[in-house]
Amino acid sequence: MKRNTWQRSAVRTALDDQEAFVSAQQLHLQLRKDGTGIGLATVYRALADLASIGEADTLQSEEGEALYRACSTGKHHHHLICRECGATVEFEANDIEEWAKRVAREHGFSNPEHVVDVFGVCAKCSKLK
């Protein structure tokens, strides 16, 4: 059965504290700074677990690095992400859900899924220019 370890809750907490999407490496660094002696492999495992049970969202950075984020809702949603600071806004978009299904159906594709993310520069980062 699944056991409760301080490592797992530490990862969950550290992820909750992040406003932006972060990599396993970044989170590990943060956890070390916080004084925990948690191992890198454990952070990878904990993040993979959180993602698999739907408690964390994941996406690939432009460079192919896996990024994670604790999302406020378990419901399916999308992200608007700042390219500068990583600040992220969550939102739902029923039009998109319907649209994706329709596009798949119209071309004979079944079991549709979709990757929909919007990137930009947030208001705060725009001012700093």
Chain residues binding Zn ion by CB under 5 A are 82, 84-85, 87, 97, 122, 125
Total site size for its own copies, rule CB under 8 A:
34
In angstroms, the CA 62 to CA 43 distance is: 22
* 52 counts as binding DNA under rule CB under 7 A: no
* 95 counts as binding its own copies under rule CB under 8 A: yes
In angstroms, the CA 38 to CA 8 distance is: 10
Report CA Rg, the chain. Answer: 17
Binding segment for its own copies (CB under 8 A), chosen from 7-15, 17-25, 43-51, 94-102, is: 94-102
Residue (75 or 129) nearer to its own copies, CB: 129
Residue 126: phi and psi, rounded to 5, are -65, -40
